[in-house]
Structure 1
């Protein structure tokens, strides 16, 4: 099997994991959920919704665009859908309550298909998190960079411990700020990483919220280049 075929399969696997996470989480309960599932998912997957954090006015513009493209929603239904989206996927929705201590391990279950349960990754396909995360945190700007990888994904060639990787990582922007903080703290404290970190201060939901912004995987890669890492 050629290297391009391997990369394609790896990328497909990553995208499938991201979609599986979204579908496993599902949409939150509330008035309008059924309408969103029935009318919005006709043209796109639910991950398009769950990956966004928009104001009510912005969601109304999005829904209006959907209607302009053929979505079947009357005025009353439009108001219900916009209210639902603004409530559950509004700009304040990411400010979830602090995640329980074991939440990081639960969130990491969506990561270990690529990075493995032991954080060792798959040589040449998925980079390790063991030992590599402490190296990132030790780099100037590395702490602010890590949440961006979880939220925005990563696409571009990197090198970890002498092994080259170029498999795109999907974005997990649907995670709450608390969940992102929890999974980063889980990774930082697992597989011997804690012993390699000096005076590590756990991430908080507030810290992640301050860093959250829409970035493409390519833009996140550009941020990595600024760290001086390969």
Structure 2
């Protein structure tokens, strides 16, 4: 009996180690959108996407995300200047460009915003983001 337990526990340890290694492989990518948001967006748009009064538009519950879906990848990559209306309120601040983000990073960032703070919008695919970046000359194919 003890040898059976040792074999089973040894097998479980191997399986557990393999699962641990696999989860480590995916952890960074899985939370990449959240991490990018915290690093690049939260200082202006807020930790909960609430925006900043009438200066910076909210992302939480923002109608702009739905009505400008096809423009959002270019907006992230090239920034925004000039007025925009979000939830009936006009905002006119500069949003900095994020030229160094890959198509995959833009996809992960957008998907984080699309699915948090009450937003229940359709997620993007990398293929869709790559296609949407073509008009703003921003594709990297990654």
Gaps of 5+ in 1: 1-98, 216-230
Q: What is the aligned counterpart of 1:185 among 75, 91, 111?
A: 111
Q: CA deviation at 1:137?
A: 4.5
Indicate the residue corresponding to 2:96 in structure 1: 170
Asked if structure 1 preserves the Cα contact closer than 8 Å seen for 2:36 and 2:109, the reply is yes
Indicate the residue corresponding to 2:53 in structure 1: 123
CA distance in 1, matches of 2:102, 2:71: 17
Q: CA deviation at 1:211?
A: 2.2
Q: What is the aligned counterpart of 1:151 among 71, 77, 83?
A: 77
Q: What is the aligned counterpart of 2:64 among 126, 136, 149?
A: 136
Asked if structure 1 preserves the Cα contact closer than 8 Å seen for 2:50 and 2:59, the reply is yes
> Post-superposition, which runs of at least 4 consecutive aligned residues in structure 1 deviate over 3 A?
none
Indicate the residue corresponding to 1:113 in structure 2: 43
Q: CA deviation at 1:107?
A: 0.6
Task: State the superposition RMSD in angstroms.
Answer: 2.1
SS at match of 1:159: strand
What TM-score comes out, normalization by structure 2 length?
A: 0.68
CA distance in 2, matches of 1:148, 1:188: 16
Q: CA deviation at 1:161?
A: 2.9
Query: Cα distance 1:209–1:161, how it changes in 2: closer, same or farther (>3 A)?
Result: closer
2:133 equivalent to 1:204? no
Asked if structure 1 preserves the Cα contact closer than 8 Å seen for 2:42 and 2:49, the reply is yes
CA distance in 1, matches of 2:100, 2:134: 12
Which deviations, in whole Å up to 9, do the C-alpha atoms of 1:57-111 show, x marking residues without a partner?
xxxxxxxxxxxxxxxxxxxxxxxxxxxxxxxxxxxxxxxxxx7220000110110
Q: CA deviation at 1:170?
A: 1.0
Asked if structure 2 preserves the Cα contact closer than 8 Å seen for 1:152 and 1:214, the reply is no
Indicate the residue corresponding to 2:29 in structure 1: 100
SS at match of 2:47: coil
What is the count of residue pairs matched by the alignment?
A: 109
Q: CA deviation at 1:131?
A: 1.0
Query: Cα distance 1:214–1:171, how it changes in 2: closer, same or farther (>3 A)?
Result: farther
Query: Cα distance 1:152–1:104, how it changes in 2: closer, same or farther (>3 A)?
Result: same
